[in-house]
Amino acid sequence: MGEAWARIRGRLREEVGEVEYRTWLRQMTLAGIEGDEAVVVLPTRFLCDWVRSHYGDRLRALWQQENAAVRRVEVRVGPQRPAPAEDGEEAAAPTRETATRRKGLAEPLADRSSTAGTARSADPRGDWSAPLDPRFTFDTFVVGKPNEFAHACARRVAERPATPGFNPLFLYGGVGLGKTHLMHAIAWAIRGGENGRNVAYMSAEKFMYRFIAALRSQSTMEFKESLRSVDVLMVDDLQFLIGKDNTQEEFFHTFNALVDAGKQIVVSADKSPSDLNGLEDRLRTRLGCGMVADIHATTYELRLSILQAKAAAAGVDVPNGVIEFLAHKITSNVRELEGALNRLIAHANLFGRAVTLDGAQEVLHDILRAHDRRVTIEEIQRKVAEHYNIRLTDMSSARRARAVARPRQVAMYLAKQLTSRSLPEIGRRFGNRDHTTVMHAVSRIAELMQADAAFAEDVELLRRMLET
Ligand code: ADP
Ligand code: MG
């Protein structure tokens, strides 16, 4: 019987793929065969519902192949035995990722009585939360002009959650500027506080994922209840919910319920509430009615301070000249700045050599080149043509069909945005067109991007691909 079961598991694993298997099926154990029924147990009701509705038929069919006497498969909540070690799995020491995933899926709707005594119920406050990065605290956050307001608001919320005027706290800014860092810092501070409040931090993507999982397993009531029992809800990267109407709706209701109950909400996004096109109006309105704080692009001074702080924390002596050089060259965001410094430090440690300017230039040559790099009009034309699946020659052809004219306009728009060429010059490169044609293209695309979030995202994606 054990062998048959191992084969069934193996087959399922092949059929559904590794990720799905680990997410849903890995914790299945066979309790036994009772009459014509195979009994499979899982640790939580949530997992049981899911496995029954998604894999029930397949389980039964596989059992029948193994043992014709088995006509039914019963999936029920039962004690969790350690998962058997399987090829390629670290059963004893799950990676942080698998541990998180399992935890994330099994916990919110977990049947407490059946999980009592297992490690997962050790921290009931952690129920809803993704793990927090231990490096992201207020202590390690370097404050400067571009982020001082956001930082002050974050501190305030951490000290006194749900103060009127600061609820919700909406943090926004470009990538890599410290939004997630500040959110984790708030969560650490509140969790470490005296009252031991229940803080739930998660990405908007995770929020949606859980909501959909609850819908599928018809447990949205439990989903709502467990979510509404938190004291502080933090949702990171809310822009992810653009276009996801059902999830927005759910978030809106959760949001209202929590605020009405005097709970604190903290949200981050890459744009201000009013610029989050594609988010429901009433949600945008509510998001904007607390405190809205933006994190601006870094300044040279802030980059200097961040590099100094990080080098000091790593205990590595980085000469001022090198720090100034990096702060001057790597202007995109803090994440890249940090990445460059970490690479320098790793090299220095590995080879036991001091950090020097020459060395830095060598070790970082690829990063530095990317920052020097200018995009050419040819590259833009090639990428855009590829993206919309038209011929490169159509970028300069006279064809006016929408299918080629629109991509051509996108390319002109990007040429204006990403290069320093003049309008007449850009026109010449697109089949000797007049500069007014380019001007028209630029304003037309800007208009379309305003009106159509999906289109805007498309153009943004192209821009990002060209910039990196
Ligand atoms: P975002 O969420 O805005 O994309 P993150 O919070 O993930 O950005 O920040 C990217 C990286 O830069 C993180 O490692 C973070 O610790 C670091 N970082 C950003 N801003 C600061 C700051 N002011 N001081 C120290 N580190 C920072
Ligand atoms: Mg982030």
CATH number of 377-467: 1.10.1750.10
H/E element, 292: strand 291-295
Q: Give every strand in the sheet of 291-295, ordered side by side.
A: 199-203, 232-236, 264-269, 169-173, 291-295
What does the pLDDT look like over 429-468, one tens digit per residue? 999 999 999 999 999 999 999 999 899 988 988 887 786 5
Please state the atom number of ligand 1 nearest to the C-alpha of residue 295: 3
CA angle 433/434/437 to nearest 5° reads 90
- The residues lining ligand 1, judged by C-beta closer than 6 Å to any ligand atom, are 136, 140-142, 147, 173, 175-181, 306, 334-335, 338
- Which residue CA neighbors atom 14 of ligand 1 most closely? 335
Q: What is the DSSP string of 335-353?
A: HHHHHHHHHHHHHHHHHT-
- Which residue CA neighbors atom 11 of ligand 1 most closely? 335
What does the pLDDT look like over 328-362, one tens digit per residue? 888 889 999 999 999 999 888 888 888 998 889 88
Q: Fill in the DSSP letter of residue 391.
A: -
Helices (H), 193-333: 204-216, 220-228, 245-260, 281-287, 300-314, 320-329
Ligand 1 center–CA 239 separation, angstroms:
18
What does the pLDDT look like over 142-157, one tens digit per residue? 999 999 999 999 999 9
**Which of 177, 181, 203, 343 has most ligand 1 atoms within 8 Å of its beta carbon, as the pocket-test mutant?**
181
Q: What is the DSSP string of 92-144?
A: SS--HHHHHHHHHHHSTT--HHHHTTSGGGS-GGGTTPPPPPTT-SSTTPPP-
What does the pLDDT look like over 367-417, one tens digit per residue? 887 766 678 899 999 999 999 999 999 999 999 999 999 999 999 999 988
**Which of 205, 305, 334 has most ligand 1 atoms within 8 Å of its beta carbon, as the pocket-test mutant?**
334
Identify which ligand lies nearest to the alpha carbon of 182.
1
Please, what's the largest Cα pairwise distance for the chain?
Answer: 83
| pLDDT for res 372 | 63
Q: Report residue 244 CA to chain centroid gap.
A: 15
Residue with tokens 């026109």: 427
| pLDDT for res 468 | 59
| pLDDT of 64 over the 80 cut | yes
Query: CA 15, CA 86: separation in Å to the nearest integer?
Result: 16
**Which of 177, 203, 235 has most ligand 1 atoms within 8 Å of its beta carbon, as the pocket-test mutant?**
177
What distances in angstroms separate CA 443 from CA 113, 124, 428, 440, one per listed residue? 61, 53, 18, 5
Please state the atom number of ligand 1 nearest to the C-alpha of residue 143: 23
Question: Structure tokens of 76?
Answer: 């029920």
CATH 3.30.565.10 fits 148-295, yes or no: no
| pLDDT for res 127 | 56
pLDDT class of 136 with cuts at 50, 70, 90:
very high
CATH 1.10.8.60 fits 311-371, yes or no: yes
Q: Are strands 264-269 and 169-173 parallel, antiparallel or unpaired?
A: parallel
Q: What sign does the CA torsion over 215, 221, 284, 176 have?
A: negative
Query: CA 48, CA 213: separation in Å to the nearest integer?
Result: 12
Q: Report residue 84 CA to chain centroid gap.
A: 31
Q: Evaluate the omega torsion of the peptide bond into residue 168 and state whether it is cis, within 30 degrees of 0.
A: yes
Please provide the distance, in angstroms rounded to a whole number, between the alpha carbons at the two ends of the chain: 55
Question: Are domains 2-85 and 148-295 of this chain identical in fold?
Answer: no
For 28, phi then psi, to 5°, come to -65, 135
| pLDDT for res 420 | 75
What does the pLDDT look like over 81-132, one tens digit per residue? 554 444 433 333 333 333 333 333 333 333 333 333 333 333 333 356 788 9
- Percent of the chain having pLDDT more than 90? 50
Among 84-88, 224-228, 386-390, 423-427, the minimum mean pLDDT is found in 84-88
Ligand 2 center–CA 211 separation, angstroms:
21
Q: Please, what CATH class does the domain formed by 2-85 belong to?
A: alpha beta
What distances in angstroms separate CA 437 from CA 45, 186, 405, 448, one per listed residue? 62, 50, 11, 16
CA angle 210/277/182 to nearest 5° reads 60
- How big is the chain by its Cα radius of gyration, in Å? 27
Q: Report the chain's mean pLDDT, rounded to a whole number.
A: 84
| pLDDT for res 443 | 94
More reliable by pLDDT, 82 or 427:
427
How do the domains of the chain map onto residue ranges? 2-85, 148-295, 311-371, 377-467
For the stretch 85-107, what's the b/e string if a residue is b when 16 or more beta carbons lie within 10 angstroms of its beta carbon? eeeebeeeebeeeeeeebbbbbb
Q: Fill in the DSSP letter of residue 211.
A: H
Q: Which amino acid is it at 147?
A: N
Identify which ligand lies nearest to the alpha carbon of 184.
1
What does the pLDDT look like over 184-209, one tens digit per residue? 999 999 988 777 788 999 999 888 88
| pLDDT of 176 over the 90 cut | yes
Among 276, 329, 281, CA closest to 307: 329
274-281: long-range contacts, CB 8 A cutoff, minimum separation 24: 276/238, 276/239, 276/242, 277/242, 277/450, 277/453, 277/456, 278/242, 278/243, 278/453, 279/238, 279/241, 279/242, 279/248, 280/245, 280/248, 280/249, 280/252
For 217, phi then psi, to 5°, come to -100, 15
pLDDT class of 234 with cuts at 50, 70, 90:
very high
| pLDDT for res 25 | 86
Among 214, 210, 143, CA closest to 182: 143
